[in-house]
Chains A and B, each alone.
Chain A
Amino acid sequence: MIAGFFNTVGYAGPWTSNAWPAPPVGCDREAARLTMERAMDQVLLADELGFDWISVSEHHYSPRILTPSPMIFAAAITQKIKRAKIAILGPLLPLSNPVRVAEELAMLDVMSQGRIVVLFLRGTPNETLVYRANPDETREVTQEGIELILRAWTEPQPFGWEGRYFSFRTVSVWPRTLQEPRPRVFSSGNTPDSVPFAARQRLGLALSFMPLAEIKHRVELYREEAAKAGWEPAADDVVYRFFGHVADTDEQARRNVGDNKVDFGRAFGMNEAVLKRLIGNRSAALYMMVMETPFLFGGPAAVVDQIGALREAGVGNMDMAFTWPGISYEQQLQSMECFASRVIPQIRAL
């Protein structure tokens, strides 16, 4: 089992509004500086503690995650740590120029001595508003963007691209990625419709914030589609992103988490216009979900058991955020240390 630390880079100051977009006036400049300082400290700690991956993601216009450009944060990480892989999970292709994304990731791969892992995503519903993406087209845009980036990394000669959503007469990416033929790439399986694409393209499958039964169903579908495409995914080809909290005992973990819940609709501060547009959209369910507790939760023994169940569902790669409403920064650090010292050694062989 691969153990990844998801660095959310959540705003360290108080949230003054749950609205989306969050008004910039609510961003205290000193708190923003502290956020970045702490995030980098957590990166160093995660590397020192032996996490396999350190991941960052892309979100916009909100205190929830202060990395609208994950490439910039990843670039800083490449110069701080020399062991763990750097997982950029992920650039939002409907908001980006895919050739630029290919170029920046190639740079990062070289800067990191070939330690980049990538997941390309569509973005959460609000983010279709950020640079005017049409939510009805984001899956197709993302999939075309992925194919273009894969080709940009591997074609030996300059080429043109006549796509449905992208057109480039000349693509010729320098530098080439250090990893040959390219960095490891994942594609989202959060909606069942997206799973066959990942399998057809022989990419890893990335799932997030869904119940165990759904994870199992998605992994089965992925394996079926991969078999049709003539290959068999390994366990670590499936990555699952989730919240987790580990303490010395189950009781301590329960006390730390308290009655706090994650209401995705509120946490994402769903924009009213987006909510109306989402009606009937299959991806909407995720953003209407309320989580009562973190996915992994308890003392070390309980968490090891829970990871065993995750492994049985077909996941071989965890991307764990140690954040949760009410959990302080110091408690996050304690949870990371407890997880690294008392859980990771027991899940390596899973």
Chain B
Amino acid sequence: MLRQSCDPADSRSLNTNMPIEICTKEGRLQANGLDVSYLEAGRGDPLIVFPPQDGELFDPLITKLAESQRVISLDLSSRRSSTIEGSAEKLSDAFAKFGLDRYCAIGISDGAAPALAQAIAAPEQVDKLILLSPIKLSQHSTVRLDEVNAPTLVVVGTRDTSGSAEAGRLCREKIRACHLSFLYGADHALAADRLNACLNPIKEFLEQGEQFIISRESQLIHP
């Protein structure tokens, strides 16, 4: 059940403050009794967004990513995070039914827990995992971090006192291919504080995977 929309008024049932210039589709993912609303925008490789429970489906960062990715942002606002985490396998089935065999996943704030659960439950689907300001990681996920196979990028603000840095360090230590990056001067809301500085490593990670740590910038000053 999909419908085209470029009018934010059409998405009034969803928790979003999406900019009007983003053209979205609204729909529902359904499988094995699971029923999740989503907003979709952009073209390119698929990127599944697990937004914060009380946050926007398309914040400025996700909106920018939709310029180069097919972004599908899940509306998890009406669910308890533990319910979503426990539904990872059903969600995998729903994605498969939807035609998404491989995708990247991004979890923001308390959306990190279900994103991690997805990477653990469906390693064959999750190509790369990005966690922004991760908090409230469940015991269930943290003991299984070593099962995450997807290359992972964790970004934490240097002024964030919510516990994200500790969660990021744990991921860096336990996940096989995890890169922890500190965003200088940013608080928990990374995109609100330093949008472009946050966007740059994420885009490069999505494009290059683990090789994003190797600079491609020329050091030549005058050819």
Bitwise, B200-218 to A at CB < 8 A (1) or not (0) is 1100000000001111000
Q: Looking at the complex, which of B12-20, B49-57, B91-99, B180-188 is the stretch in contact with chain A? A: B180-188
- Are A164 and B180 neighbours in the complex by a CB distance under 8 Å? no
Q: Which residue on chain A has the smallest CB distance to residue B197?
A: A162
Q: Which residue on chain B has the smallest CB distance to residue A151?
A: B182
Q: Looking at the complex, which of A153-161, A247-255, A303-311, A325-333 is the stretch in contact with chain B? A: A153-161
Alpha-carbon gap, A169 to B212, bound state (A): 8
Q: How far is the CB of B41 from chain A (nearest CB, A)?
A: 25
**B179: CB under 8 A from chain A?**
yes
- Are B185 and A160 neighbours in the complex by a CB distance under 8 Å? no
- Are B213 and A160 neighbours in the complex by a CB distance under 8 Å? yes
CB contact under 8 A between A157 and B169, given known A162-B182, A162-B183, A164-B185: yes
- Are A157 and B172 neighbours in the complex by a CB distance under 8 Å? yes
Question: CB-CB < 8 A to B182: which residues of A?
Answer: 151, 159-162
- Are B184 and A161 neighbours in the complex by a CB distance under 8 Å? yes
- Are B197 and A164 neighbours in the complex by a CB distance under 8 Å? yes
**B158: CB under 8 A from chain A?**
yes
- Are A169 and B158 neighbours in the complex by a CB distance under 8 Å? no
CB contact under 8 A between A147 and B212, given known A159-B172, A162-B197: no
Question: CB-CB < 8 A to A156: which residues of B?
Answer: 169, 173
Find residues 127-169 in chain A having any chain B CB closer than 8 Å to their own CB.
144, 147-148, 151, 155-164, 166, 169
Question: CB-CB < 8 A to B131: which residues of A?
Answer: none
Say which residue of A144, A148, A160, A164 sits within 8 Å of B181 (CB atoms): A160
- Are A157 and B180 neighbours in the complex by a CB distance under 8 Å? yes
- Are A162 and B169 neighbours in the complex by a CB distance under 8 Å? no
CB contact under 8 A between A163 and B172, given known A169-B213, A170-B213: no
- Are B184 and A164 neighbours in the complex by a CB distance under 8 Å? yes
Find residues 173-197 in chain B having any chain A CB closer than 8 Å to their own CB.
173, 179-185, 194, 197
- Which of A144, A159, A163, A164 has the most chain B CB atoms inside 10 A of its CB? A159
**B198: CB under 8 A from chain A?**
yes
A-B contact count (CB 8 A): 54
Q: Which residue on chain A has the smallest CB distance to residue B181?
A: A160
Q: Which residue on chain B has the smallest CB distance to residue A140?
A: B185
Q: How far is the CB of B215 from chain A (nearest CB, A)?
A: 7
Q: How far is the CB of A347 from chain B (nearest CB, A)?
A: 39
Q: Which residue on chain A has the smallest CB distance to residue B158?
A: A147
Say which residue of B184, B213, B215 sits within 8 Å of A162 (CB atoms): B184
Question: CB-CB < 8 A to B155: which residues of A?
Answer: 162
Find residues 132-186 in chain B having any chain A CB closer than 8 Å to their own CB.
155, 158, 169, 172-173, 179-185
- Are B172 and A162 neighbours in the complex by a CB distance under 8 Å? no
Report the interface size class on chain B.
20 to 34
- Are B181 and A161 neighbours in the complex by a CB distance under 8 Å? yes
Say which residue of A144, A157, A162 sits within 8 Å of B201 (CB atoms): A162
- Which of B182, B197, B214, B215 has the most chain A CB atoms inside 10 A of its CB? B182
Q: Which residue on chain A has the smallest CB distance to residue B198?
A: A162
Q: Which residue on chain B has the smallest CB distance to residue A156?
A: B169
Q: Which residue on chain A has the smallest CB distance to residue B201?
A: A162
Alpha-carbon gap, A144 to B158, bound state (A): 11
- Are B213 and A159 neighbours in the complex by a CB distance under 8 Å? no
Alpha-carbon gap, A273 to B214, bound state (A): 39
Q: Which residue on chain B has the smallest CB distance to residue A171?
A: B182
Q: How far is the CB of B108 from chain A (nearest CB, A)?
A: 17
Alpha-carbon gap, A157 to B155, bound state (A): 14
Question: CB-CB < 8 A to A147: which residues of B?
Answer: 158, 184
Q: How far is the CB of A173 from chain B (nearest CB, A)?
A: 14
Q: How far is the CB of B197 from chain A (nearest CB, A)?
A: 5
Alpha-carbon gap, A151 to B158, bound state (A): 10
Question: CB-CB < 8 A to A162: which residues of B?
Answer: 155, 181-184, 194, 197-198, 200-201
Question: CB-CB < 8 A to B173: which residues of A?
Answer: 156-157
- Are A160 and B184 neighbours in the complex by a CB distance under 8 Å? no
Q: How far is the CB of B190 from chain A (nearest CB, A)?
A: 10
Q: How far is the CB of A164 from chain B (nearest CB, A)?
A: 6
Question: CB-CB < 8 A to A144: which residues of B?
Answer: 184-185
CB contact under 8 A between A159 and B180, given known A147-B158, A164-B197, A169-B212: yes
Q: Which residue on chain A has the smallest CB distance to residue B156?
A: A159
Question: CB-CB < 8 A to B181: which residues of A?
Answer: 159-162, 169
Alpha-carbon gap, A157 to B167, bound state (A): 13
Say which residue of A151, A155, A160, A166 sits within 8 Å of B179 (CB atoms): A160
Question: CB-CB < 8 A to B215: which residues of A?
Answer: 169
Q: Which residue on chain A has the smallest CB distance to residue B178?
A: A157
Q: Which residue on chain B has the smallest CB distance to residue A170?
A: B213
Question: CB-CB < 8 A to B158: which residues of A?
Answer: 147, 151
Q: How far is the CB of A120 from chain B (nearest CB, A)?
A: 16
A-side residues, CB < 8 A to B, are 144, 147-148, 151, 155-164, 166, 169-170
- Chosen A-B contacts, 11 in total, with CB atoms closer than 8 Å, are A156-B173, A157-B172, A160-B179, A162-B155, A162-B184, A162-B200, A163-B184, A163-B185, A163-B197, A164-B185, A170-B213
Beyond A160-B179, A169-B201, 4 additional contacts (C-beta under 8 Å) are: A160-B182, A162-B194, A164-B184, A164-B185
Closest 8 CB pairs of A and B: A160-B181, A163-B184, A169-B213, A157-B172, A159-B180, A162-B183, A162-B197, A170-B213
